[in-house]
Amino acid sequence: MDLTPMRRRHRRRNPDDPRDRIERLALSFPTLRWARGVAPFDPNELDAWACGPASSGGFHAAAFILGVWNHYADWGCGKFDLFRAFDTWDREHREAFVAWAQDPWTA
């Protein structure tokens, strides 16, 4: 049973809003569906989660999301490394990344 919507604050969704877009992208990665800082999106919380209890797949997914959000920032979890991520990720994670890569965007 997916309880993700129950974790979100009650606010109207806007498909063009950067926070809504990044939240939807983050939720496409299985290891981020229950991560702190994803829903609602809070980049500082997600960074703290990636530095702490995240699995290796979750760490790479969080680093990717934070890079899409702001690739100029010096995130505590470090910069996204595509080769390490693909070495770690399962099929679902790779598919989430490839879906973004087919029509990439940044916030």
Question: From the CB of residue 85, how many other CB atoms can be counted at a distance below 10 Å?
Answer: 19
User: What global pTM score does this model have?
Assistant: 0.87
| Digit-coded pLDDT (tens) for 42-90 | 999 999 999 998 999 999 999 999 999 999 999 999 999 999 999 999 9
Alpha-carbon distance of 15 to 91, in angstroms, equals: 26
63: amino acid identity, one letter: A
Range of the domain at 65: 21-101
> Domain tally for the chain?
1
C-beta atoms surrounding 1 within 10 Å? 2
The token duo for 79 is: 């910069």
> Residue 12 domain-assigned?
no
In a domain, 14, yes or no: no
The answer as to whether 2 is a domain residue is no
Residue 13 belongs to some domain of the structure:
no
Residue 13 — very low, low, confident or very high, per pLDDT cuts 50/70/90?
low
Residue 42 lies in a domain: yes
CB 58 within 8 A of CB 36: no
Q: Are 26 and 34 in contact (CB under 8 A)?
A: no
**11 occurs within a structural domain:** no
Output the pLDDT for position 63: 98
The two structure tokens encoding residue 11: 């606010």
pLDDT at 10 over 90: no
In a domain, 33, yes or no: yes
